[in-house]
Structure 1
């Protein structure tokens, strides 16, 4: 028995998944990605995290991950600020074959009590952005990084430059070239950093 779920943020970075997870890149119709979980505490600090909300006429890239069902409890602990939304498989299309996902495919959506835009007290962590965008770059190159930035709402939320002392628990180290690409694209998009 397996579970299948759609990753649209850090779950796109396979380094954050179990080694035995099978990952298929693709597109999900009818959902938009946002920086709109505020107040999550990491080491006593508020932060802003990613979530998705339904919206007709849009699509986002991400991955379908499959793993044994006994991994569900671990996954739900990781995503404890989110509710499962089942039955999204027909809205997913694999990049390679265009096939849809299984009927029982699910995603994680913010629990209502956590939903809200971040702010200076609940910033986006640069170390989190790096982890997410490394995953998008691994699957789709520079175009994937651009897609994430352009299709994600909430870049008015300031970013905390914690790259040198990361607060994000799944922080990764970027190559010099990828770090420069991410920083340049975010600057072009007009993101703001906390002083």
Structure 2
């Protein structure tokens, strides 16, 4: 097997790419550093020139995932403007799209058990992702009277939880979990129920 990492001059990224493939195939705890090294075409000892262990390798995969995630969320938010409701709903759909397009990154970020505080870089980029959703929530909630306005952090946490639940149960082929409705429709209807409860959109006639 050719030593792809050395050939391309970026062994560190070759190892991350290998880890992402293995995470998709075996889960975040189902592979060893030796397997990641073998898939990248290098010796196990070479891994330790870049990562202290498997946790560091997965954390870097998560950090890169958050970078992609932030771009998707920010793009969704901006393209939803000038409607606060459209911008808010777009960020929820972006979460679903990210989980489908980047399963390895998604697992590293949300299912590996790696803390977002594992490194300052990971903490910073995860905070950026959260802030996009919080900004969208705050903008939308401005139409409510101050005494009925939920804190943006709570508002955004609820929507993140709804999005995550739909992804976990219905968008990633969880065994035994089937829905007669597409995940996008489930998420849209759930967000609609939540927003109606807050009085942010009118009830159905």
- TM-score interval w.r.t. the shorter chain? under 0.3
Structure 1 length normalisation: TM-score? 0.28
Of Structure 1 and Structure 2, the greater helix share is in: 2
Larger Rg: 2
Higher RCO (C-alpha under 8 Å, 6+ residues apart): 1
Structure 2 length normalisation: TM-score? 0.27
